[in-house]
Amino acid sequence: LIVAGNFKTFKTRKGTREYLEELEKLVSDSKSEVVVFPPATAIQDRIEKVEIGTQNLYPTKNGAFTGEIGLEQIEEFGIKTVLLGHSERRDILNESEDLIAQKFRFYSKEKLRIVFCVGENLEIRESGEDEVFKFLQNQLININLDYENFVIAYEPIWAIGTGFTPTLEQIETIAKKLKELTGKDVLYGGSVKPENVADILSQKSVSGVLVGGASLKADQFAKIVKIADEVSK
């Protein structure tokens, strides 16, 4: 199972280093794959068990793209995993389908592992499961599903940072369909916490979780990792 933490725009370089030192001690013997996505200023070399990924990248090795980072900046730290298509980038930073597709194309050529986020808003969820799946399918339309090194993160927008989650049945239904469509592992994200992670990970088609708020404290995130270890699959 994959247990990933997305820090978003939380934590400094120093705070991230302290966090990782604490987390390493707590999860060193975990059988889960543990990945942390700190902000760009805090990306650093892997210590041991916990992999470091990056929350976003511009589709370039380097160049004149003020404010962005590209391949050269992460290669220095041996980073091999990138999060793409997060709803906050789509909705708050106005990232277009086209730009997301360019990023996917560029970083799949570079053989990075891509965690590709999809997710519907509340209005779509309220129009029913078929509409939800149609929407998610569209978010994947410009993406090369044959690329081997990527996983899907299903993150319903209305579940992010709200404390609400879909029912377990709804999570399984969507994860199963996404898995059938793409042949990839599917993670679930949106208000994951120690109290609900066992049930979520017990769903047959869910291969991991992407955690926001509850990943920010090392001991709480380690608790989620421990619970993931106990869910046998």
The residue within the footprint of ligand 13P, chosen from 19, 100, 212, 225 (CB under 6 A), is 212
Question: Which of the residues 147 through 166 are near ligand 13P (CB under 6 A)?
Answer: 155, 160-161
The residue within the footprint of ligand 13P, chosen from 210, 218, 227, 228 (CB under 6 A), is 210
Binding mask 39-78 for ligand 13P (x = CB under 6 A): ----------------------------------------
Residues 117, 189: contact at Cβ < 8 Å? yes
The residue within the footprint of ligand 13P, chosen from 189, 200, 203, 223 (CB under 6 A), is 189
d(CA 227, CA 220): 11
Least CB distance to ligand 13P at residue 133 (A): 20
Least CB distance to ligand 13P at residue 59 (A): 21
Look-up: residue for tokens 């050529």?
109
Contact status: 128 vs ligand 13P (CB under 6 A): no
The residue within the footprint of ligand 13P, chosen from 82, 186, 211, 218 (CB under 6 A), is 211
Is 148 an active-site residue? Answer: no
Query: 117: how many CB neighbours lie within 10 A of its CB?
Result: 25
Count of residues that bind ligand 13P according to CB under 6 A: 14
Side chain identity at 19, as an amino acid letter? Y
Is 21 an active-site residue? Answer: no
Nearer to ligand 13P, 11 or 232 (CB): 11
Contact status: 34 vs ligand 13P (CB under 6 A): no
Nearest residue (beta carbon) to ligand 13P: 212
Nearer to ligand 13P, 29 or 212 (CB): 212
Catalytic residue among 86, 88, 95, 172: 86
Full 3-state SS string of the chain: CEEEEECCCCCCHHHHHHHHHHHHHHHCCCCCEEEEECCHHHCCCCCCCCEECECCCCCCCCCCCCCCCCHHHHHCCCCCEEEECCHHHHHCCCCCHHHHHHHHHHHHHCCCEEEEEECCCHHHHHCCHHHHHHHHHHHCCCCCCCCCCEEEEECCHHHCCCCCCCCHHHHHHHHHHHHHHHCCCEEEECCCCCCCHHHHHCCCCCCEEEECHHHCCHHHHHHHHHHHHHCCC
Contact status: 191 vs ligand 13P (CB under 6 A): yes
Nearer to ligand 13P, 60 or 168 (CB): 168
**Which active-site residues does the annotation give?**
86, 155
Q: Which residues bind ligand 13P (CB under 6 A)?
A: 6, 86, 155, 160-161, 189-192, 210-214
